Structure 1
Amino acid sequence: MAALFRDTVVGQLLRLVTGRRILKYPEERDPSIWQRYLNVEKSSNMALHGTTSRPEQPKKELPRTKEQLNPQPTLSNQQPPSRRSSISASTANDHNENGLVNTLSNTRVDPEKGRDADIVDWYGPDDPENPMNWSTVKKVWVTFEICLLTFSVYIGSAIYSAGILDVSEVFGVSRVASTLGLTLFVLGYGIGPMFLSPLSELPQTGRAPIYIATLALFVVLQVPTALATNFGMLLAFRFITGFVGSPPLATGGATIGDIYSPSKRTYGMAVWGIGAVCGPVMGPLVGGFAAESKGWTWTIWELMWLSGFTLVLLAFLMPETSSANILYRRTMRLRRLTGNDKLICEPQLMGEQMTGRDIVMMTLVRPFTLSFTEPMVFLLNMYIALIYGLLYIWFESFPIVFTEIYGFSLGLEGTAFMGILVGVFVVLPPFIWYQRRYIEPKFNDKGELQPEWRLPPSFVGAFCIPICLFWFGWSSRPDIHWIMPIIGTAWFSIGAFLLFNSVLNYLSDAYPQYAASVLAGNDFFRSTFGAGFPLFATAMYNKLGVGWASSTLGFLAIAFIPIPFFLFKYGERLRMRSKYAQKDY
């Protein structure tokens, strides 16, 4: 617990305030052990090549001349490491009589390519500060916190929907206009990750400070939202709160990836997905009774209390999971202890090579470039965006079905969403069994998996969505008991759960070097659809009726069913032609 608290935002602030006299790290308690954090091999490579890894050997050698068979000593990457070190020292001495020597690795620094640096790294494969080596209990705790954080923000969209009618009456606007408070919030958390999530990738910041800072703003801004004196003010703050609360919705998956190996990441993502589903499902239930008795403002106060509790919990008990930030802070500690400014970690080296243009490309340009130029990314983004849009437009039919047809009160109407939650818990056990039984054995020795094997669960999920919509639409009649459409809603969460887990894991595996950009683009696409679809939901259901309106959505879902099957068969060929996708597994 002491180590966990030390790495939280509050723990780091206490260290700073007390001049690092409390919550000390091992090297601060025993300065004699600091050298075990230095990587001699990587430091030697930096001296020779300017990178922490050796350049790859050429796979083929061309026929050599007689002179090449008896070469003179040169600085060649083709030489064995020991030979290369001695040659490098000789050559460097010829070029520079006062040539530098990396004292850690005792390697002469190449004056043209090398750099004198002492690389700070994990001290071994079992370094306890490496998030991958954390205990199972600690990993489960962090996963729970990310689920709670995601739930606390995601619920902000649906909890408002319970008060839409009251917003319409209080501000004198139409029902469609009052729905903008929902859609702008969703749009905000679709745009927000494009700007805020990349900050968590910087080694100097890490993930926890971004989570805490944005969540604190999210909590504070609920006050002017609830006290809005006009409709424009309400809409403005709904968009802003969605924007500032967005990082966990896109970066939560990255946090899961920080602590689980690729073969185990699916389980963490699945549990995180439950937190994401619980938000929209529990929102109408939590907000319904409050809006019924106290008005729409109480839905916002409830959101503030929930997110405020999450803020306090995470500030005290959410450790940093970014390995880049953990190594960066270790490097800074060792510099203070030793006074050695040559100490540097690999994340810092990568950051030094990034220009402002690179950052803009990564955050604003690359997500759209990948989304529109990569067929796999485009198809899956459109599919997930459709499912997200269908979810939000379908939610708008619940008041029509359960209030107008079955006579539920506003508070009881929220209980109709519980079928969706039950569906998630029904599908979770077989999904985990399938992953353990069939997918884990397919990982190679490097912990890699051919991405297409992530897709089979989506084959089932693709059919579940239209089943739900047809079932729900044609069973929502006064002569059929209300339990039937509620049972039908479970099919949607089963389908969405299988599709989301398959697609997000597939994109991460197919584009490992660009996963952040790909997932940011996916989040933007689905949030845009989720924001736009509810605006015409009421008109569509009133014009077509519940049966045909739901069937129209079902037919749209059927049109997209071939996508996962197509990518399972042809995805590898598409990856081979791509300049971004991973090709070798």
Structure 2
Amino acid sequence: MMLNSDTETETEGDSSVRGVGKEERALGNSNATSMLDHDGETTDVETPPRRPSSQVSGPQSHSQSDIHQTPVSDHEKSSGPNESRDDRILVGWDGDDDQGNPRNWSTLYKSWITFQLGMLALSASLGSSIISPAGKTIAAYVGVGSEVSVLSISLYILGFAFGPLCWAPISELWGRRWSMLPPLFCLGLFSIGTATSTNAASIFITRFFGGLFGSAPVSNVSAALGDMWSPKARGTAVTFYAVAVVGGPTLGPLIGSALLVNPHLGWRWTEYLEAIWVFAMFGLCFICLPEVYTPVLLKKKAARLRKETGNNAYYHPHEEIKLDAKTIVTKHFSRPLLMLTTEPMVTCIALYASFVYAILYLTLEVFPIVFSDNRGWSPVIASLPFLGLFVGVNLAVVVNLGNQPRYARIVDAAGGRPVPEARLAPMALGGFIFAIGLFWFGWTAAPNIHWILPVIASVLIGAGFNIIFQQCINFLVDTYVLYAASAVSANTFLRSIFATGFPLAAGPMFRAMGVGPAMSVLGGVATVAIPVPFLFMKYGVTLRKKSKFAPYKD
């Protein structure tokens, strides 16, 4: 998600260039752009400063006048297409109201695009859980233990950990469409591969690669939302997008159970249905989803102007960006790990977000134990309590949106700068709700206690999870700004690792300890984490002052 993108990066100059008209505003955030990505993932784009060049908004500007001057680094010394760099014309938008800029599209059109992006994310997140009710059936079919069959869930989520390392640089280089639609198509293919598998190895391999490709829309959708929506409006868009992301894990088990009990369908149709949904969304978005990434749009505009005018001086710096192994290693791998291990705020927030995220996937194994094994409910009925989680997730939207006006006032008072500490009040509330929900669920899960009580507890778990999770992402983005991509990537990697392991441990842990004690252990961990937002309320500014990555201004 773009940060501070309402403020354009401009450098005034007094020189004139023959043949260049009055300059419109340049591409915003040309020196450093940070975009929110995952669920919340981000990608940081560090475009080097440019040397003096003419900067235009369109072919109509061809009279002599003052222009903006921007320096160039050694990185950009290669000349543009058939043109000396001395007289190159930097292409930008045609003023603040240029309709080519996604920020200026109508609210209705942007809402339609937001819907498409949400459906892309739902396609991938649904795939993580729709197969979960079929665990025992798959185990019997391929001849493995039920604990081993949980790998069909865990390996998919493991793909979420490593996929963004690939899709983030592709998103920066070629744009949002290319970073989401081809991988989504591959997710559909691997879903069919799982559905047609005849042994455990092929099921697990296709599931891992399904998650690897499915991570593309999950990790890049919120960045696309940031391309379209202004900072004050994007919070609402991202909140509703998050519901689509979390809706997959909570609704998938119910859909999968309905398919599993149908004698004409069975477990394979959990993956066939996933493939059908994926291909349907791919077709819709292939036709209707436009590119929204500003650097790619301006690169295309520069190429169009060269073709229309015959003047090869038109250029945009994105045409010269190269993707190499060093950039991928330093920016998309080593820096997130460095921040995860050396930045206390990243470490604590990532651990907290990873814990609550992993609990969401742990429920995929715990709910069947509580409602199917212990109470004897049929698979479909035993999946209905997942709706409690979904209701809680939606209730969290009210809390997160309720904090938006307060946050906007605090940002305005700070001169438009992000104020990370203003994100922490909802997180603190969510921490209490989440811990209460875990204890409540554990000690009302016994078969002799009415089923409505653990279902109410699941509502609290879902609400607490979504409040904490969204504010953790917002806090990291506000704190690290330019390096928000790396901070959120660290969070994405760690949370996917946690979510990979928790379902594997759930069955043995809950059967050995019992539901009440096991949930009490998790509730105890959640209780220990409650002080995290309060500590950052008090010491956040001090930590930002000492950080190598977090900018701070008095």
Normalization by structure 1: what TM-score? 0.80
Residues 425 and 131 of structure 1: CA distance in aligned 2, closer, same or farther (over 3 Å): same
CA apart distance, 1:37? 10
Asked if structure 2 preserves the Cα contact closer than 8 Å seen for 1:218 and 1:245, the reply is yes
Residues 51 and 407 of structure 1: CA distance in aligned 2, closer, same or farther (over 3 Å): closer
SS at match of 1:245: helix
**Pair 1:572 & 2:514 matched:** no
- Structure 2 gaps of 5+ residues are 1-18, 32-47, 53-62, 75-84
What is the rounded CA distance, in whole Å, between the counterparts of 1:395 and 1:327 in structure 2?
45
Q: What corresponds to 2:58 in structure 1?
A: none
SS at match of 2:239: helix
Residues 479 and 41 of structure 1: CA distance in aligned 2, closer, same or farther (over 3 Å): closer
Asked if structure 2 preserves the Cα contact closer than 8 Å seen for 1:266 and 1:501, the reply is no
Asked if structure 2 preserves the Cα contact closer than 8 Å seen for 1:40 and 1:119, the reply is no
CA apart distance, 1:145? 1.4
Asked if structure 2 preserves the Cα contact closer than 8 Å seen for 1:262 and 1:448, the reply is no
Asked if structure 2 preserves the Cα contact closer than 8 Å seen for 1:266 and 1:505, the reply is no
Q: What corresponds to 1:331 in structure 2?
A: 302
Deviations 1:538-581 (A, max 9, x none): 11111111111111111111121111111121111111111211
Asked if structure 1 preserves the Cα contact closer than 8 Å seen for 2:51 and 2:69, the reply is no
CA apart distance, 1:228? 0.8
For residue 189 of structure 1, the aligned residue among 155, 160, 163 is: 160
Of 403-412 and 373-382, the range deviating more from structure 2: 403-412
What is the rounded CA distance, in whole Å, between the counterparts of 1:255 and 1:335 in structure 2?
27
Residues 339 and 232 of structure 1: CA distance in aligned 2, closer, same or farther (over 3 Å): same
What is the rounded CA distance, in whole Å, between the counterparts of 1:428 and 1:554 in structure 2?
23
Residues 467 and 111 of structure 1: CA distance in aligned 2, closer, same or farther (over 3 Å): closer
For residue 227 of structure 1, the aligned residue among 189, 196, 207 is: 196
Q: What corresponds to 2:464 in structure 1?
A: 495
SS at match of 2:292: coil
What is the rounded CA distance, in whole Å, between the counterparts of 1:415 and 1:497 in structure 2?
19
- Structure 1 gaps of 5+ residues are 1-33, 55-101
Q: Which amino acid aligns with 1:494?
A: A
Q: What corresponds to 1:465 in structure 2?
A: 434
Asked if structure 2 preserves the Cα contact closer than 8 Å seen for 1:185 and 1:238, the reply is yes
Deviations 1:212-258 (A, max 9, x none): 11111111222221111211111111001110111122212211211
Asked if structure 2 preserves the Cα contact closer than 8 Å seen for 1:180 and 1:235, the reply is yes
What is the rounded CA distance, in whole Å, between the counterparts of 1:401 and 1:108 in structure 2?
66
CA apart distance, 1:106? 8.1
Q: What corresponds to 2:407 in structure 1?
A: 439
**Pair 1:376 & 2:345 matched:** yes
SS at match of 2:552: coil
Residues 402 and 116 of structure 1: CA distance in aligned 2, closer, same or farther (over 3 Å): same
Asked if structure 1 preserves the Cα contact closer than 8 Å seen for 2:355 and 2:498, the reply is yes
SS at match of 2:404: helix
What is the rounded CA distance, in whole Å, between the counterparts of 2:424 and 2:197 in structure 1?
46
Of 163-172 and 105-114, the range deviating more from structure 2: 105-114
Q: What corresponds to 1:122 in structure 2?
A: 93
What is the rounded CA distance, in whole Å, between the counterparts of 1:171 and 1:463 in structure 2?
43
Deviations 1:424-481 (A, max 9, x none): 2223234323312x11112238632211111211001111111111111111122221
Residues 559 and 410 of structure 1: CA distance in aligned 2, closer, same or farther (over 3 Å): same
Residues 252 and 517 of structure 1: CA distance in aligned 2, closer, same or farther (over 3 Å): same
Q: What corresponds to 1:474 in structure 2?
A: 443
Aligned counterparts, 1:292-441, within 5 A: 292-293=261-262, 294-348=265-319, 351=321, 356-436=325-405, 438-441=406-409
Normalization by structure 2: what TM-score? 0.84
What is the rounded CA distance, in whole Å, between the counterparts of 1:474 and 1:41 in structure 2?
60
For residue 142 of structure 1, the aligned residue among 113, 128, 143 is: 113
Asked if structure 2 preserves the Cα contact closer than 8 Å seen for 1:161 and 1:182, the reply is yes
What is the rounded CA distance, in whole Å, between the counterparts of 1:262 and 1:457 in structure 2?
19
Aligned counterparts, 1:55-134, within 5 A: 115-134=86-105
CA apart distance, 1:357? 2.1
Q: Which amino acid aligns with 1:341?
A: N
Q: Which amino acid aligns with 2:106?
A: S
Asked if structure 2 preserves the Cα contact closer than 8 Å seen for 1:263 and 1:443, the reply is no
Q: What corresponds to 2:137 in structure 1?
A: 166
What is the rounded CA distance, in whole Å, between the counterparts of 2:446 and 2:67 in structure 1?
81
Deviations 1:471-502 (A, max 9, x none): 11111122221111111101111111111221
Q: Which amino acid aligns with 2:431?
A: A
Asked if structure 2 preserves the Cα contact closer than 8 Å seen for 1:284 and 1:413, the reply is no
Aligned residues: 495
SS at match of 1:407: coil
Q: What corresponds to 1:82 in structure 2?
A: none
For residue 509 of structure 2, the aligned residue among 522, 526, 540 is: 540
For residue 526 of structure 2, the aligned residue among 549, 557, 561 is: 557
SS at match of 1:246: helix
Asked if structure 2 preserves the Cα contact closer than 8 Å seen for 1:281 and 1:421, the reply is yes
SS at match of 1:119: strand
Asked if structure 1 preserves the Cα contact closer than 8 Å seen for 2:130 and 2:249, the reply is yes
Of 185-194 and 354-363, the range deviating more from structure 2: 354-363
What is the rounded CA distance, in whole Å, between the counterparts of 1:112 and 1:384 in structure 2?
39
Asked if structure 2 preserves the Cα contact closer than 8 Å seen for 1:225 and 1:237, the reply is yes
What is the rounded CA distance, in whole Å, between the counterparts of 1:382 and 1:443 in structure 2?
27
Residues 282 and 37 of structure 1: CA distance in aligned 2, closer, same or farther (over 3 Å): farther
SS at match of 1:162: helix
Asked if structure 2 preserves the Cα contact closer than 8 Å seen for 1:389 and 1:526, the reply is yes
What is the rounded CA distance, in whole Å, between the counterparts of 1:190 and 1:486 in structure 2?
30
Asked if structure 2 preserves the Cα contact closer than 8 Å seen for 1:188 and 1:243, the reply is yes
Q: What corresponds to 1:517 in structure 2?
A: 486
SS at match of 1:397: helix
What is the rounded CA distance, in whole Å, between the counterparts of 1:236 and 1:108 in structure 2?
53
